[in-house]
Amino acid sequence: MSVCIVYHSETGTTRTVAERLAAAVRGDLIEVKDLAGYSKVGMYLMGAPRAMRGKKADIEPAIIALSGYDAVVVGTPVWAGSPTPAINAAVAALAGIEGKPAFVFCTSGGSPGKTLETMQAMLAGRGADVRGAVALTARDAREPAAVEALVSLVRPLAAGTREAMVSP
């Protein structure tokens, strides 16, 4: 099974988690860029209110094709207790998501709010088979072991584990 890890990261924390997960499950990474190109202040003044209202950003790539993948993981930073506008747009841009197993994660300062619930609902609304969700703090993300909760959810579906799954 092949896993696609789609994530947004403005300051690197979500990227670190996504990269560790990709290494552990031999997944492919797709980083979504918000074309707004926020400054540090702009993230709070413009990005956070947009996140709170569930807005979608203009993103690159504009379409994320999942046809070659068996499962998808979507990771977001928490902005104002919500997924980022880039991730709202990324979920809408997932082509071929219908029926596929999906997992979500977020990184935050410790108050993720309804971020995971919102992402799970968005993915379910796209027809994904949502299987699990993990919230990490930015502090957790500095510890390589912190990604284990996510790895143990995704690994049963990942490349190289098929033999383990079919063995008696």
* Contact residues for ligand FMN, defined by CB under 6 A: 9-15, 43-44, 47-48, 77-81, 107-113, 138
Beta-bridge partners for 75? 7, 105
Pick the closest to residue 96 from 59, 60, 70, 118 (CA basis).
Answer: 70
Q: For residue 39, give Cα distances in angstroms to 11, 26, 35, 44, 70.
A: 11, 33, 12, 9, 36
Report which of 37, 36, 86 is spatially closest to residue 64, judged by C-alpha positions. 86
Whichever of 111 and 152 has its CB closer to ligand FMN, that residue is 111
Write down the least CB distance from residue 7 to ligand FMN, Å.
8
Minimum distance, C-beta of residue 163 to ligand FMN, in the bound complex (Å): 34
Q: Which residue has the tokens 């390589």?
A: 144
Q: Which is nearer to ligand FMN, 29 or 159 (CB)?
A: 29
Minimum distance of ligand FMN from residue 86's CB (angstroms): 10
User: Which residue is associated with the tokens 């993915």?
Assistant: 123
Shortest spacing between CB 44 and ligand FMN, in angstroms: 5
The least CB distance from residue 146 to ligand FMN, in Å, is: 12
Spell out the alpha helix ranges (H) of the chain. Answer: 13-25, 40-42, 48-52, 85-92, 115-125, 138-141, 148-154, 162-166
